[in-house]
Structure 1
Amino acid sequence: MKTTQKELLTFSIARLSELIKKKKISPTEVAIQLLKRINEIDPKINSFITIDKEEVLEQAKRADQEIENGNYKGPLHGVPIGLKDLIYTQSLKTTMGSEIYQNYVPDYNATVVEKLKEAGAIIVGKLNTHQFAYGPTGDRSFFGPVRNPHNTQKMTGGSSSGSAAAVSACLAYGSLGTDTGASIRVPASFCGIVGMKPTYGLVSKHGVFPLSMTLDHVGPLTRTVTDNAILLNVIAGFDQNDPNSIQKESQDFSRDIGKGIEGMKIGIPTSFYFDDIDEEVRHAVEKAIEVMRELGAVIQSINLPNIEKISESHKVILKSEAYAVHEQHLKDYPDNWDDEVKERLLTALDTKGYEYVQALQIRKLAKNEFNHVLEDVDVILTPTLPILPPKINERHVNIEKYIGQHIRWSITKLTAPTNLNGLPSLSVPCGFSADDMPIGIQLIGREFDEATLYRFGYALEQKLAINTAKYAINERS
């Protein structure tokens, strides 16, 4: 099959896998073209920290041989996938975006890496991250800031900054990130792609460097909703090595994609989620709501009376648990930190023990309150973020509510509540600002009902027909 490099690298996972399965394209051909593009494009956006090009080609050759011998493993076989650089990879550096671990090589693979390898995926490399994943801006890594492929002066959002930028710039067909308060959905929204924070406990965290043990999630970033479901199908599942893993029957998260949403109910919060947001964001999200209505969905208002308390409790738990993870690092390596990350860690010293306990008790309230609403609607729809992508190193926004606050609080405001209650949350592109920066909506669902979120996300995706590969960096520069 004759295809240009540009066309090949913009394919969805679903399309590429069909061509690989039919032997119309070889994994080696894909890997060669991808590595070439990374070499050309990534110096402009800085999404990768580590790539072993020889190993990538070896993986591709093995996939070629397996497929040639009739051992096709499924839709990720021979497909290059990137990993956030705090997901452990045996014999490949895992730096956490930090000076402290800049040369660290784990002696085992994270469970999600083993699952990808069993599915035949090609691990293309390790992706840049906000240092120790402690920041939603994505521009505080020891290895330098990641730049947004839509505008390299703008931030990607974080902390899964490289994971989103690489997928957006067609340097990987999909990637894995982590999300503790925003860190998959925010960069997905800022970079114009699809990002899923799955239900807490659905995806193993074994072999993933922690930020907050009770808030961390691992999830996929892709250019399409179907691709996201394909990737989640592979990485989900019980893991006895993860004490927070939940044993559930396996399911196909793509099973309801394409069924439509006529007659299904969408809940729109009456407060908090639509308060103090950029007017361009509001307009894009309201347009998406009208599109859903046109597709037959029933739109109704919902009330989450304790949402402010839920939001504040997330902040207390995050800073307390992050400090517990890094207390020894701070003592052993006092000078090996980004100043902003270290300052944020030290804010935990002002938190009293009883405040942490009280915040943990709010977790049940957070789950019950959302579950009560989700008894009457199929999904909750909100903006993913209240703001548009700021410039790299910008730390304040002009929305009156947030003047004087660090930008991190405006970035994470709308995503953090579902880290506290563990409910699945999907960010899907819904439009662009006047200066062509992406805007996303967030869909929140019931525990382990990711399939319904994909159903709604796919319906919107097909109607809006946003080309998530259109703004790859070589087309904007």
Structure 2
Amino acid sequence: MKSRRTLTAVGAGALAATLAMPAVASAAPGEAPAAFLSPYYTELDVTGDRQVSTADLEIVAANLGATSDSPSWDSVSVANVDGDGVLTVTDLAAVSQRMIYDDGEFEIVEASVLDMQAAMNAGVTSSVEITQEYLDRISAYDTVTIDTADGGRPLHSIISTSSVALDAAAQADATRESDGMTSMLLGVPIALKDNYNTSDMPTTGGCSCWDDNWTEDDAFMVEGLRDAGAVILAKASLDEFAYGFSSVFSAYQEPGEFTPIASPYNTSFTAGGSSGGSAASVAANLVGIALGTDTGGSIRVPASYNQLVGVRPTVGLSSRDGIIPLALTQDTGGPLTRSVVDAAVSMDALTGIDENDPVTANQEGLVPESYTAYLDEGALDGARIGYVPSMLPSSNTTVMAGWDSAVAAMEAEGATVIEITPPEAFTAVLEEGSGSTNEFKHDLNEYIEAYLAPEVEIRSLTDMLATDNYVTFRERVYEGRNNVTDETYQEWAGPEGSHTLQLAAGKELLHDMFDEHDLDSLVYPSTVVYGTYSRNMRLSPNTGMPSVTVPMTVEAEGDRAGGGAGLEFLGRDFAEGTILGLAYAFEQSTAVRTTPTLYGPLED
């Protein structure tokens, strides 16, 4: 993690400069402080508010010279970082590092949420400036061919940008000025996969048939982001109606036309899907964070290809209300980010019980105050990590080298990595199919009835198929889905449907495996480089259990150079905190992610 700018001298001038820092991280009177509970930022707190601010520095400064024999020692001893039994300016400097404050130069490329907040808190930049920088990067990079190699093409990661994003950023800056940093997402620009309803931008699902779908309200998860002060910057492109992993869309194009989404590491390859635009925009530093959806791999595949962190939450942790569905037995939404820190911060704004999505009632009492509390570099120490050999691509030298390095890294951090022989029924869990065929028409019709703007003329798959306003090479796919009867749907996804029963059986079997081997997580490669492997993507959706993918390896040479493959941590239901902590410790110990060289800082 990047060190915060802090004291570099022991003179009175340096001390005065530190104490002159505004208390930007403090909440307004009577309000709870912004929750960022990573141990690094809380363990040196003196005042008891679980953050380090100027109030803590003032107390430490007032007690410089105190020793273990001093009456005040018990109240300030936590600040004795070097453990020598005396509070010195060296200790004060160490405490100041734990403030979310950085008055050094701000660089938007690879900036984390922490970097943005620290720079905005110090007045080095503002949400308006960051938002404008991202808009400038979108304009300069997204639809322009930057990659001059054979097969190079534009990213096409963004479908639309918000006309009110700068207004929202200005409001976030005003909030910071009056109330301090009220949230770790305050003023942070975010893109949404264009199947999330937004009241200020159309929601197309990537389909030109719905270019005019201006919904009245935001999706539940979008409301959570806005409540946290995030700036909704743009709608990210996607594989039309979240169909698959290739990421091709027709929105805002002439009938019969469609466009692929490219990976910023190697634009001759797809960014993956279906949340391809979300992944490409984050990886290329066109946005701060993006949301995607995942039915059978649609967050984790593009995250893996593009060296990102991707979170597929437990089904029931994040509401699907206001999201264009693919298959509600398995649909869930989550973040794609450049770091585990950003993923954990995002998750804090995305949970909540929603009466319009009854499955969210299952999270009652199981959501922590903040997922950032699990971000401990020592989280792997003592952890029990299982793996199933059949989930390893043994003939893929790049991924297997990455896997061997990953195992070595986890063991070096104190984890016990255990080979698991699964029960025979494990195969049936992996082989259960996606609900995207048998559920799509049924679930889409419910969305149309509840949310589709009345101005939209195409209001069914039948209507769409009578036009060329979609990705036309998928005509037979859409025809097949349109022909699914209600009887077939019920036999598949009804209360006693075959799919419903298999998902429940898979959940029970995996939890039994966790219990039998006392596992904290089951791990496996999410994908190979620019390709899926076997049925690995099916384990999380076929059990409803959460998973986090984090960069594991990068292809160094050849035609797939730059592409990534992630390591996926599967956890028990609602154990997102645990697996985020494990992923964070792994990320910190390996530092695999690289920056796409084609999409560096803009020239002034």
TM over 0.5: yes
The structure-2 alpha-carbon separation of the partners of 1:341 and 1:303, relative to structure 1 and needing over 3 Å to count, comes to farther
Question: Residue 3 of structure 1 is aligned with which of 105, 110, 120?
Answer: 105
Corresponding residue of 2:456: none
Question: Residue 338 of structure 1 aligns to which amino acid in structure 2?
Answer: V
1:83 shift after superposition: 0.4
- Aligned twin of 2:166: 57
Deviates most, 355-364 or 149-158: 355-364
Q: Quickly say closer, same or farther: Cα 1:277–1:307, change in 2 above 3 A.
A: farther
- Match of 1:10, SS state, is coil
Report SS of the residue matched to 1:240. Answer: coil
The residue aligned with 1:15 is 115
1:241-256 pair list within 5 angstroms: 241-246=356-361, 247-249=363-365, 250-251=367-368, 252-256=370-374
For residues 7-406 of structure 1, the aligned pairs below 5 Å read 7-43=107-143, 44-53=154-163, 55-142=164-251, 144-246=259-361, 247-249=363-365, 250-251=367-368, 252-258=370-376, 259-271=378-390, 273-275=391-393, 278-304=396-422, 305-315=424-434, 317-325=435-443, 329-334=460-465, 335=467, 336-347=469-480, 353=488, 354=491, 357-375=497-515, 376-385=518-527, 387-389=528-530
Conserved? CA contact 1:170–1:472, under 8 Å: no
Give how far 1:370 is off.
Answer: 0.8
Greater RCO, CA 8 A, separation 6+: 1
**Bigger Rg over Cα:** 2
Deviates more, 1:63-72 or 1:34-43: 63-72
Supply the distance in 2 between the matched residues of 1:442 and 1:364 (Cα, whole angstroms). Answer: 22
Structure 1: distance between partners of 2:104 and 2:392 = 48
1:454 to 580, 584, 602: 580
**Aligned-residue CA RMSD in angstroms?**
2.3
User: C-alpha separation between the residues in 1 aligned to 2:247 and 2:281?
Assistant: 13
Counterpart CA distance in 2 for 1:213 and 1:344 is: 19
The residue that corresponds to 2:61 in the other structure is none
Residue identity opposite 1:423 in structure 2: M
Residue identity matched to 2:503:
R
In structure 2, what is the Cα distance between the partners aligned to 1:208 and 1:411?
Answer: 28
SS of the counterpart of 2:183?
coil
- Sort the Cα spacing of 1:201 and 1:277 in 2 relative to 1 into closer, same or farther, 3 A: farther
**Cα separation, 2, equivalents of 1:212 and 1:27:** 36
Match of 1:87, SS state, is: coil
User: 1:452 and 1:62, CA in 2 relative to 1: closer, same or farther beyond 3 A?
Assistant: same
* Partner amino acid, structure 2, of 1:360: T
Query: Match of 1:39, SS?
Result: helix
Quote how far apart the aligned CAs of 1:330 are: 2.3
Moved more, 129-138 or 343-352: 343-352
Q: Report how far residue 257 of structure 1 moved.
A: 1.3
Q: Which residue of 1 aligns with 2:146?
A: none
Letter in 1 for 2:289: G
Q: Look up the SS of the partner of 1:254 in the other structure.
A: helix
Which has the larger displacement, 246-255 or 372-381? 246-255
Give the structure 1 partner of residue 599 of structure 2: 473
Residue aligned with 2:545, SS: coil
Quote how far apart the aligned CAs of 1:279 are.
2.8
3-state SS in 1 of match to 2:428:
helix
The reply on whether 1:426 has 2:548 as its aligned counterpart is yes
How far does residue 111 in structure 1 lie from its aligned partner after superposition? 0.9
Q: What residue is the counterpart of 2:563 in the other structure? A: 437
Q: Deviations over 1:78-100 (max 9, x none)?
A: 11011000100003111100021
Q: Distance in 2 between matches of 1:307 and 1:154?
A: 32
1:130, 1:198 → 2: CA distance?
A: 20
CA contact (8 A) 1:129 1:138 kept: yes
Given the two structures, how large is their TM-score scaled by the length of structure 1? 0.89
Gaps in structure 1 of 5+ consecutive residues: 391-409
Distance 1:472 1:27, change over 3 A: farther
Report if the CA contact (8 A) 1:48-1:128 is conserved.
yes
Determine the C-alpha separation between the residues in 2 that align with 1:355 and 1:36: 47
Find the aligned partners of 2:200 and 2:249 in 1 and give their Cα distance: 25
Q: 1:140 to 1:52 in 2, by over 3 A?
A: closer
The question of whether the paired residues in 1 share the 8 Å contact of 2:394 and 2:400 is answered with: no
Query: Cα gap change, 1:225/1:200 in structure 2, threshold over 3 Å: closer, same or farther?
Result: same
Distance 1:274 1:346, change over 3 A: farther
Aligned identity (percent) is 30
The DSSP-based 3-state class of the residue aligned with 1:466 is coil
Q: Secondary structure at 1:61's aligned position in 2?
A: helix
Separation (CA, whole Å) in 2 of partners of 1:18 and 1:113: 24
Give the drift of 1:411.
5.8
The one-letter amino acid paired with 1:458 is Y
Report the Cα distance in structure 1 between the residues aligned to 2:568 and 2:520, rounded to whole angstroms. Answer: 13
Amino acid at match of 1:147: A
Note the alpha carbon deviations across 1:321-373, whole angstroms, 9 max, x for none. 12434577221221333234443344455898356622221112100111011
* Contact 1:185/1:197 (8 A) holds in 2: yes
Structure 1 residue 145 displacement after superposition: 1.3
Distance 2:108 2:260 in 1: 28
Q: Structure 1 CA distance, aligned partners of 2:281 and 2:395?
A: 28
Moved more, 93-102 or 11-20: 11-20
Alpha-carbon offset, residue 466 of structure 1:
2.6
| Paired letter, 1:302 | I
Decide whether aligned partners of structure 1 residues 373 and 428 sit closer, same or farther in structure 2, where only a CA change above 3 A counts: same
Contact 1:215 1:318 in 2 (8 A): no
**Equivalent-residue separation in structure 1 for 2:224 and 2:290 (angstroms):** 13
Q: 1:154 aligns to what SS in structure 2?
A: strand
Who is 1:397 aligned against?
none
Distance in 2 between the 1:240 and 1:71 partners? 32
Select between 368-377 and 148-157 the one with higher mean Cα deviation: 368-377
Code of the residue aligned with 2:529 in structure 1: it is L
Instruction: Number of aligned residue pairs: give it.
Output: 451
Q: How far 1:470 moved relative to its partner?
A: 5.0
Paired residue secondary structure (2:583): helix
**CA distance in structure 2 between the partners assigned to 1:318 and 1:411 by the alignment:** 19
Check 1:292–1:471 CA distance in 2 against 1; reply closer, same or farther (3 A cut): farther
Question: Could you tell me the TM-score, scaled by structure 2's length?
Answer: 0.71
The residue number in structure 1 matching 2:6 is none
The one-letter amino acid paired with 1:248 is E
Q: Answer yes or no: is the 8 Å Cα contact 2:312–2:334 preserved in 1.
A: yes
Contact 1:188/1:194, CA 8 A, preserved across alignment: yes
Q: Verify the 8 A CA contact 1:313 1:360 in the aligned structure 2.
A: no
Change in 2 beyond 3 A, CA 1:344/1:310 = farther
Do the aligned partners of 2:524 and 2:567 also contact (CA within 8 Å) in 1? yes
